[in-house]
Amino acid sequence: MDSKKIGITLMLLAVVLFGMVYSFLDDANNASAQKNCNPTKECQKAASVIGFSNIAFGIIFSVLSLGFYIMFFNTDSKVLERIEKETHDKALSDKFAIALSMLDPLEQKVLTSIREQDGVTQSTLRIRTDLSKAKLSMILSDFEKRDIVRRIPKGKSLAIFLKEKY
What's the whole-number average pLDDT of the chain?
A: 81
pTM over 0.85: no
Which residues make Cβ contacts (< 8 Å) with residue 97, sequence separation at least 6? Answer: none
Query: Which secondary-structure segment (H or E) carries 161?
Result: strand 157-162
Among 72, 107, 125, the domain-final residue is 72
Q: Check: CB of residue 139 under 8 Å from CB of residue 151.
A: no
Residue 135 has pLDDT above 90, yes or no: yes
pLDDT above 90: percentage of residues in the chain = 10
* pLDDT above 60 (res 118): yes
Residue 145 has pLDDT above 60, yes or no: yes
Say if residue 39 is in the same domain as residue 103: no
Measure the CA–CA gap between 20 and 32, rounded to whole angstroms: 19
Percent of the chain with pLDDT over 70: 83
C-alpha 165/C-alpha 76 separation (Å) is: 28
In 10 A of CB 134, how many CB atoms?
Answer: 8
CATH of the domain at 116: 1.10.10.10
Q: Which residues pair with 158 in a beta bridge?
A: 153
Domain shared by 31 and 107, yes or no: no
Range scoring the smallest mean pLDDT among 36-40, 63-67, 138-142: 36-40
Contact 129, 109 (CB under 8 A): yes
How much is the pLDDT for 55? 80
Give dist(CA 3, CA 69) in Å, integer: 9
C-alpha to C-alpha distance for 30 and 46, rounded to whole angstroms = 10
Partnered with residue 149 across adjacent β-strands are 162
What pLDDT is stored for residue 92 in this prediction? Answer: 81
Section 8-16 average pLDDT: 84
Domain containing 29 equals 3-72
Domain end (from 40, 72, 104): 72
| Domains held by the chain: number | 2
- Indicate the residue among 72, 102, 119 that finishes a domain: 72
